[in-house]
Amino acid sequence: MAENKGRIEVAAAQRFESDHFDSYQKKIEPNERTLCGDIDLSPRGSQPWMGPYGIAGTVQNKATTASMIANMMLTAAAGHACGIDFKASEHLKAHPEFVWQKDLLRDMPSGKWTTFAEAQ
C-alpha cells in the first residue's frame, strides 16, 4: 500500500471495487471473497451471517481522491460495481429457499458511476 499512496486514481478504484478475482481460489469468480461482494452468487454464502446464495453483498460503491475530497467531490454507484444486475424473480426461481422474502425483495439494477459535488 505504501508504494501506491497518492497514485490510485478514481478509475483504478472503480476497477478495484468491481473486481471478481477470488484470491483464495486464484481465479475469476464473482462471490463473497471478491471485492465486488457478490454474496448472492456464492454457493458458500458468507457464514455464519448469510447462507449459500444469500441475498446480500455490496450494493453501494464510492471512490474519491485527495483532490476530489478537497473540492467536496466523490464518485458513487448503486448496485454491484461490476454491473451485474440483481433480478429478484430470477434469483427466487433459482433459489426457492428465499421465497419467503418475495413480497419485500426488489430488483437492484447496477447504476453507472456518477460524480457528486457540492453545489456551487
Q: For 11-29, how does the pLDDT look when each residue is reduced to its tens digit (9 = 90+)?
A: 999 999 999 999 999 999 9
Q: What is the pLDDT of residues 37-76, one digit of tens each?
A: 999 999 999 999 999 999 998 889 999 999 999 999 999 9
- Residue 59's Cβ-side half-sphere holds a number of Cα atoms within 13 Å equal to 10
Instruction: Report the number of distinct structural domains present in the chain.
Output: 1
Quick check: 52 and 42 in contact, CB under 8 A? yes
Q: Which domain holds residue 96?
A: 2-117
Q: Which of 45, 39, 14 is nearest to 108 (CA)?
A: 39
